[in-house]
Structure 1
Amino acid sequence: MKKRNVINLIRYHEDRNESAFRNEAAEIARDFDANGDTQLAEYIMALISDANAFVPQAMEEGADFFDKMESSSVPLPLPQAISDDVTGICNAIAHNVGVNKFLFQGPPGTGKTVTARQIARIVARDLYRVDFNMVIDSKLGQTAKNIGRLFAQINSLRQPDRAIVLFDEIDALALDRVNQHDVREMGRATSALLRELDNMNEQVVLIATTNLYKALDKALVRRFDAVIDFGRYSREDLLGISEVLLSGLLQRFKGASRDMRLFRKIMSQMRELPHPGELENMLRTSLAFSKPDDSHDYLRRLYAQTCPGSSVTDLPKLRSQGFTVREMETLSGVPRSTISRELREVGDE
């Protein structure tokens, strides 16, 4: 047993990472067994197999490489083209005829993982996410062996027709083999993954996500029945989604003003709107950091983010951006009569 094993045991215990704890304990047992201490190895295995020992919560029995995830009931608005593709995936799963491997590709924050959770809810299946930290190993050839063990566990799920397995950021395993420094080791892992995908139980649905689609091994991409592009958001899509996201957040921030027209005008000042994940973070932060006794403060904070370097007291600038006198009053805190007078004076000059 090495110092690394002890450190890992302590870390996994503190993190409450039960599957990793059991896996590390099993490795220690194998090490003792290899060194001739069979009784101690058997004792350790008996401890981690005992009903009173660590048992992964909400996991399939014997599954070391994936954990059960909760499906999502929080709606994520999607562009019509992506929504239609997601509906098609749900239909394919319902038919249960072996069209069961789907790749979601697109920039970060476009809703790939959230959509996988939504699909699990819609089709009433359990969702399991693969822990690549457990699969990838620095030992030569071990990653390929772990991939084999992972798929053995997937193929032996007790209810395969009720399971969806999520390979979140599959590029961690299968970047293009010819572009890697260690071609042989990456080749072994990717070849193992391709082989196992070909032999996967057709009743199990597999959804993979990637932010690095162009860097994926082309042979891997061909293994998927459909590739869904999550990068198809128009500016109008993102403006509409920002309103939906804000409406949901405002339910938690009761004192904040619900001025959707002013909000949309502020968001329209951005030359390039971020994708939904970043949008949500931007809105949540503006609301969370706003003054509790000022219902419009979050709008001023949003304006500062959408128009960096601009000030809500720069009335001529606000007018040039299309804000009405009423909206300027809301943003600047300056009375309408004063705003009208100052703008007239600027116009007279």
Structure 2
Amino acid sequence: MKKRDIIKLIQYHYDKDEIQFRATANDIARSFDENGDHQLAEYVMSFLSDVNTFVPQSVTFESQFVNAVDVGTSSLPLPTLIAEDIKGIINAVNHRVGINKFLFEGEPGTGKTESAKQVARLLNRSLYLVDFNQLIDSKMGQTAKNIAIVFNEINRMPNPSNAVILFDEIDAIALDRVNNNDIREMGRATSSMLKALDNVNSDVVIIATTNLYNKLDRAFRRRFDTVISFDRYSKSDLLEVAEVLLTNDLKSFKEAGRDTKLFRKILDTAKKLPNPGELKNIIKVALAFSDPSKPFDYLIRIYKDTHQVDQISMVDLKDEGFTVREIGVLTGTSKSQVARELRGTENE
């Protein structure tokens, strides 16, 4: 850890720049961990997951179609490119020049919904989710009417500058009107949405997410001030995310061992890493299913899951660059036994 990191932390906290504050704190925790100060590293990470830096103001606005969402205090680490875009949203909204509609697109599990929560936290706003299960109606023309009702409520809500409205998986009503099977009904719904977006109160922040960006109606895409792609995770980014997730989860599994270097090596040797949402589930399930009497059993499970194998081969581990000690951990055998097994395969 360097002195300038402490200065950065103070400055970012003063500026209420949570993205950079957390990124710098993560770097400090990683530095502690690399120097052997594992407990101190865990303390920093636990503080980040527990601290609630910004408390959203209460708006008190709910209806049949709109529900309040707890934004929480933690978020998935984001790649620099996406983090800068999120910071740009905060700047744009704070400038109050009418830029208030944002579309998050990307594969499932890339952090779109979690980032919407982060935007609400950083803006010190309450977050509200539009419930499509209630909004979409089988009756002819009713979905379009429900959309009109929702936006009428949004435009009449108290303290609009204190709210973020989230349309999660907007594909449900905004798919291409030409290619949709029920052209008339979904055409009405999409047209109603387009009109509503054109006339929404500019003090309200609108965020929509989609897994099917290329299939969205083009006119619908143009209604948003900017589109942010969440399909920009490099392998290095995913490794950083996974390490933060593991550090947070280990706090709940005191019997589990800690070997960050081996954990990263397991993921680094996988042919393709899953998106952060799936990574989060893989790590948590591996820890939950692990044998409490075997501190590194969860690493074996993570290897099998990410490498998509039922059995772990010593030869494969050696070819992937794992050391004798690491092979022993992942196969549950002693170093001497690993050495004998590997010598035996060489003599065959």
Question: Under TM normalisation by the shorter chain, which class is it?
Answer: 0.7 to 0.9
Cα distance per residue 1:251-273 (max 9 Å; x no partner): 11111111011111111232111
Specify the alignment match of 1:13 in structure 2. none
Does the CA-based 8 Å contact 1:59-1:67 persist in structure 2? no
Contact (CA 8 Å) 2:61, 2:68: kept in 1 or not? no
Distance (whole Å) between structure 2 residues aligned to residue 128 and residue 310 of structure 1:
43
Matched residues in 2 for 1:90 and 1:184: separation? Answer: 38
> Deviation at 1:344?
2.8
* Residues 88-99 of structure 1 mapped to structure 2, 5 A cutoff: 88-99=88-99
Q: TM-score, normalised by structure 1?
A: 0.80
Aligned partner of 1:10 in structure 2 is: none
- Choose 272-281 or 239-248, whichever is displaced more: 239-248
What is the aligned residue count? 291
Deviation at 1:83, TM superposition (A): 0.5
Alignment of 1:310-349 (within 5 A): 311-312=311-312, 314-349=313-348
In the alignment, which residue of structure 2 is the partner of 1:184? Answer: 184
Shift of 1:76: 1.1
Cα offset for 1:60? 4.0
Classify 1:161/1:271 alpha carbon distance in 2 versus 1 (closer, same or farther; 3 Å): same
Report if aligned partners of 1:318, 1:328 keep a CA contact under 8 Å in 2.
yes
What is the aligned partner in structure 2 of residue 64 from structure 1? 64
Tell me the secondary structure at the aligned position of residue 103 of structure 1.
strand
* 1:133 CA drift (Å): 1.6
**Distance in structure 2 (CA, Å) of the matches to 1:273 and 1:345:** 32
| Matched AA of 1:340 | A
Whether contact under 8 Å (1:65, 1:150) holds in the other structure is: yes
Residue of structure 1 in register with 2:205 after alignment: 205
Structure with greater Cα Rg = 1
In structure 2, the partner of 1:219 is 219
> Helix, strand or coil: the match of 1:98?
coil
Deviation at 1:78, TM superposition (A): 0.8
Distance 1:255 1:64 in 2: 45
What TM-score comes out, normalization by structure 2 length? Answer: 0.80
Aligned counterparts of 1:339 and 1:133: Cα–Cα separation in 2: 55
> In structure 1, what is the equivalent of residue 232 of structure 2?
232
- Contact 1:90–1:119 (Cα < 8 Å) also in 2: yes
The SS at the match of 2:174 is: coil
Q: How big is each residue's C-alpha offset from its partner over 1:41-95, in whole Å with a ceiling of 9 and x where there is no partner?
A: xxxxxxxxxxxxxxxxx98457221011111311311111101000000111112
Report the counterpart of residue 106 of structure 1 in structure 2.
106
The 1:256/1:217 distance shift into structure 2, 3 A limit, reads: same
Residue aligned with 2:178, SS: helix
Q: For residue 345 of structure 1, report the CA deviation from its aligned partner.
A: 3.5
CA distance in 2, matches of 1:210, 1:287: 31
Task: State which drifts further: 154-163 or 297-306.
Answer: 297-306
SS in 2 for 1:228: strand
Show CA shifts across 1:242-300 (max 9, x none).
11111111111111111011111111232111000000011111110001121111011
Instruction: State the 1:320 CA deviation.
Output: 1.1
- Tell me if 1:87 matches 2:83: no
Given that residues 59 and 158 in structure 2 are in contact (C-alpha distance below 8 angstroms), is that contact kept between their aligned partners in structure 1? no
Residues 120-199 of structure 1: pairs in structure 2 closer than 5 A? 120-199=120-199
Map of 1:271 onto structure 2: 271
How far the C-alpha of 1:123 sits from its partner, in A, is 0.9
Distance change >3 Å, CA 234–CA 61, structure 1 → 2 = closer
Distance 2:92 2:160 in 1: 15
- Larger deviation, residues 151-160 vs 299-308: 299-308
Alpha-carbon displacement from aligned partner over 1:178-210 (angstroms, at most 9, x marks no partner): 001221111111111111111100000000000
Identity over aligned pairs, percent = 53
- Separation in 1, partners of 2:214, 2:109: 18
Cα shift readout 1:116-172 (whole Å, capped 9, x = no counterpart): 001111110011100112211111111111111110100011000101000001111
Alpha-carbon offset, residue 221 of structure 1: 0.5
Going from structure 1 to structure 2, the CA distance change for 1:63 and 1:341 (only over 3 Å counts) comes to closer
Secondary structure of 1:84's match? helix
CA distance in 1 between partners of 2:137 and 2:344 (Å): 71
Q: CA deviation at 1:310?
A: 5.7
Q: Secondary structure at the match of 2:165?
A: strand
1:315 partner letter: M
**Matched-pair contact (CA < 8 Å) for 1:59–1:68:** no
Q: Post-superposition, which runs of at least 4 consecutive aligned residues in structure 1 deviate over 6 A?
A: none
Greater shift after overlay, 114-123 or 300-309? Answer: 300-309
